[in-house]
Amino acid sequence: MEKLVHFCQGESHKATGKVCQDYAMCSTDNGIAVAVLSDGHGGSRYFRSDVGSKTIVECTFKKVMGFVENIDSSIFEGKPFTAVSALTTERKEENLRKNSKVDDQLNQLFKSIIFGWRTMVEQHAKENPFTDEELKLITDPQDPHSIDKTYGCTLMCYVRTPMYWFAFHLGDGKCFSFDGDGNWNEPIPWDERCFLNKTTSICDTDALSEFRYCYQGNGDSPVAVFLASDGLDDSFGESYNQANFYIQILKLIANTSNNDAQKEIEDTLPQLSKIGSQDDMSVACLYDEKELEFILPKLILWQRSNVEKQIAAVNEKILVAKAKMSKYSPLKFYTKKELIEAQYAQTDIERLFISKRELVTKYNRFTSELPSTSSHADYDDEIGLYEYKEEEKRQTLTAEQIRKRLRVLSHPMYKFDI
């Protein structure tokens, strides 16, 4: 297994002088691959969340390694992919499930992580006393939970061993997984309480019930897994855009090197923050380099198929726009108002064809990236890439004809009442 990891200060934090509150790490030592990521909360109440996120990542890594070293791995043997929602969600939906041995052991791991983190941040608070100004932000300085809240953060982790894998999550951000068939998904169940600027947290009093997780032990492991804080998914919006970004990274690894992919992430995350969420950014990735080359053509086909769907959507809009434009014949007279409406319709068609040509260029580029055994035919369809075919030009007012008629009707010598 190979790794990529990076975290950086967000654009809004640069503007206000606030430190980066994200933290992430990856390890692939001794046949055990681990990725851990945390996003410190940004509110003024959580003024030590940068310490909290670093602490939870380091604590989780230590606890996970101890878990893997001491657990009886046979409890995972043969287990199909299993995803478990947060207990708080199961209670709400009245869908409580019976725990297996794996569930019990993972819950013990979560308990140890919570206890370990709380012990570490409370020790940090003793060694680094709060200032008078900071104390004003704490509800009850004598209450350990009130102190914990100061260090509040999220947590995400993925662990892969030769026998099994598991992942868990508390808070927002997203985990993406790519399997051996080139399909991607978000394997850890989502928690609907993580919405906009609201999130569950390791500092919550009921944090244990808010963990959600997944695991598998039947021999099928992801080829690649990406963990990212919400600064990234807020910048991409739709999940398929984020998946496409990850595919571009995987292609870069396969076609050049891990170092080039690492540099691309380091260069891109600050740019995404600037034009997107403005938030801190963090990404942690683990991937199987041997399996990656086999799924690469499937990932490219997914990208091409995605572009093809976008072209189809543009084509539908083109047909609607052309139907609207078809009522304007060069053989008829039109008022100035009608010609302006025709000009708007014609502009829509031109804009749609510009979009289509850009998408077709993408489609053809993805085609060229496919191995020689695949079809390399450029994109083509009946609608074409340009506004009008010859027969359509004779039947419909062209942009130039519309402009000429508008010039005539706008001339001060033109006296008709329109």
> What are the pLDDT digits (tens) for 352-400?
999 999 999 999 999 999 987 766 788 999 888 887 665 666 667 777 7
pLDDT of 401: 77
Cα 62–66–71 angle (5° rounding)? 150
Find out whether 248 and 369 touch, Cβ atoms under 8 Å.
no
Quote the tokens at residue 400.
């130039």
Residue 299, φ and ψ in degrees, nearest 5: -65, -40
pLDDT of 412: 66
Cα–Cα distances in Å, from 174 out to 27, 109, 123, 352?
20, 21, 30, 33
Alpha helices in 258-335 (DSSP H): 258-275, 289-325
Cα–Cα distances in Å, from 243 out to 1, 210, 283, 325?
20, 26, 13, 38
Closest CA to 166 of 255, 68, 254: 68
**DSSP character for 20?**
P
Give the helix, strand, coil percentages of the chain, each rounded to 5.
Answer: 50, 15, 35
Other CB atoms within a 10 A radius of the CB of residue 237 amount to: 11
Task: Give the three-class secondary structure for 413.
Answer: coil
Report the predicted TM-score, pTM, of the whole model to 2 decimal places. 0.88
Other CB atoms within a 10 A radius of the CB of residue 400 amount to: 9
394 CA to centre of own chain: 48
7 CA to centre of own chain: 15
Helical (H) or strand (E) element with 285: strand 281-287
Q: How far apart are CA 356 and CA 312, in angstroms?
A: 9
Strand partners, 167: 158, 214
pLDDT of 163: 96
Strand 224-228 versus strand 281-287 pairing type: antiparallel
Residue 41, φ and ψ in degrees, nearest 5: -65, 145
Residue 358 burial by CB count (10 A; 0-12/13-18/19+): exposed, middle or buried?
middle
Quote the tokens at residue 344.
């708007």
Closest CA to 102 of 135, 67, 131: 67
Quote the tokens at residue 48.
């030590």
Tokens 């662990």: give the residue: 159
Q: How far apart are CA 11 and CA 54, in angstroms?
A: 20
**Low-confidence residues of the chain: pLDDT under 50:** 418
Q: In sequence order, what are the residues at sequence separation of 6 or more whose Cβ sits closer than 8 angstroms to the Cβ of residue 57?
A: 23, 24, 25, 36, 37, 38
Tokens 């709060």: give the residue: 130
Closest CA to 191 of 92, 85, 41: 85
Side by side, which strands form the sheet with 165-170? 22-27, 33-39, 155-160, 165-170, 212-216, 82-84
Q: In sequence order, what are the residues at sequence separation of 6 or more whose Cβ sits closer than 8 angstroms to the Cβ of residue 64?
A: 34, 36, 109, 157, 159
pLDDT of 418: 44
